[in-house]
Amino acid sequence: MRRCLPALLLALILPLCACAAPDRTATEVTVLKIGKADAILIALPDAAVLVDAGEDEDAGEILENLEKQGIERLDAMIITHFDKDHVGGADGVLRGVAVEQVVDPQYEKDSTQYRQYLTALEETGVPRTRMEDGETLSLLDGKLTVSAASLSAQDDNNRSLCVLLDTGFHCFLLTGDAEEARIDELLAQGLPACDVVKLPHHGRWKENLPALLDATMPRAAILCDSEKNPAEEETLALLQARGIAAYQTQYGDIRITSDEEGLTIRQ
C-alpha cells in the first residue's frame, strides 16, 4: 500500500463540504473519453472534484457522468490551465451543477473559451481561488494537493497546475499539460511514489519522462488521447519497457477504484 508523502510546504488549507453519493465507500476516479482533452472526475466517499473540463462540447458528457454517479455538487473544479481542451467545458459545468469553488492558475488568456469561463463565473458567483507562482494548496483535509508553477513560463502548458490525490490507500498524480520545464520543476521539488500517473500533454514524448517515471514509480499510466491524436509511440514504448500498464482514453472512459481492497482499473 502506498501513501503520498508531503512533497511541498502546504501554503493554504481550505476545508470543503461533503457532496459525493452518500453510499460511496471507495474513491472513484473517472477519466472521460472526450477526444484529445482532459476531464477527470474524482469522487471520494464524502466529496467530489473535477479536474479540467474538456472542450466546449464536453460539458454535457461531464454533467451526465456526475448524474450517473449521484453527484449533485462539486466541492471544487480545478482548471489546470486555460487551453481550450481543458477550460472549454467549464462554463457549461458551472451552469449545470452547483460548484463550491474554482481553483485555477494566476494568469489571463485571450480566447473565446476563457472569456466564456469568466462570464459563467460572474453569472454563478462561484468563488475563485487563483494560485500564484509556486503556491501549494491543500484541499479535502489534505487528500488533495494542488501545486502551481513557480517558473515564469510564457506558454500555457508550463503554467499547468499539478494535482496529487492521496486516497488513504493509493496515490495519483495529475500533470495537466506540463512540458519539460514544468516536469523538471516538479522533480526538483520532490515527488512521492504514485500508483497512477496521468502523463502530461496527451502522451506526447518529453525528454524527461523517464525521470518522471523514475521518481513516481507508477504501476499504471493514463493518457488522455484520441484516435486522431494518439499518444506518441515513443511514450508508449517507454511504458512497455518499464512494465507500466498504459490506459488511453481513445479506447473509452477509464474508471479507477481505490479502497482497502486494492486498486482496480476498468476500461
Per-residue pLDDT of the chain (267 residues; tens, 9 = 90+): 444 443 333 333 333 333 444 567 899 999 999 999 999 999 999 999 999 999 999 999 999 999 999 999 999 999 999 999 999 999 999 999 999 999 999 999 999 999 999 999 999 999 999 999 999 999 999 999 999 998 676 789 999 999 999 999 999 999 999 999 999 999 999 999 999 999 999 999 999 999 999 999 999 999 999 999 999 999 999 999 999 999 999 999 999 999 999 999 999
The enclosing domain of 227 has a CATH number of 3.60.15.10
Cα 201 to Cα 82: distance, rounded to the nearest angstrom: 13
- Ordered alpha helix ranges (H), the chain: 59-68, 84-87, 90-96, 112-124, 180-189, 209-216, 233-242
Residue 241 within a domain:
yes
Q: Supply the pTM of this predicted model.
A: 0.91
Q: How many domains does the chain have?
A: 1
How far is residue 91 from each of residues 13, 35, 96, measured CA to CA in Å? Answer: 26, 19, 9
- Residue 267 near residue 252, CB atoms below 8 Å: yes
Helix (H) or strand (E) holding 28, with range, is strand 27-31
Residue 85 within a domain:
yes
Residue 199 within a domain:
yes
What pLDDT is attached to residue 189? 93
Decide: residue 55, CB within 10 A, 0-12 exposed, 13-18 middle, 19+ buried: buried
Query: How many Cα atoms are found within 13 Å in the side-chain-facing hemisphere of 45?
Result: 9
Cα 110 to Cα 83: distance, rounded to the nearest angstrom: 10
Residue 184 within a domain:
yes
Helix (H) and strand (E) counts in the chain: 7, 18
Tell me the residue range of the domain where 202 lies: 12-266
End-to-end CA gap in the chain: 23
- Residue 263 near residue 256, CB atoms below 8 Å: yes
Residue 5 within a domain:
no
Residue 217 within a domain:
yes
Please state the φ and ψ torsions of residue 162, each to the nearest 5 degrees: -115, 145
Residue 134 within a domain:
yes
The three three-digit cell numbers of residue 87, written as one number: 477550460
Residue 209 within a domain:
yes
Residues 185-221 as b/e (b if ≥16 CB within 10 A, e otherwise) read bbeeeebbebbbbbbbbbbbebebbebbbebbebbbb
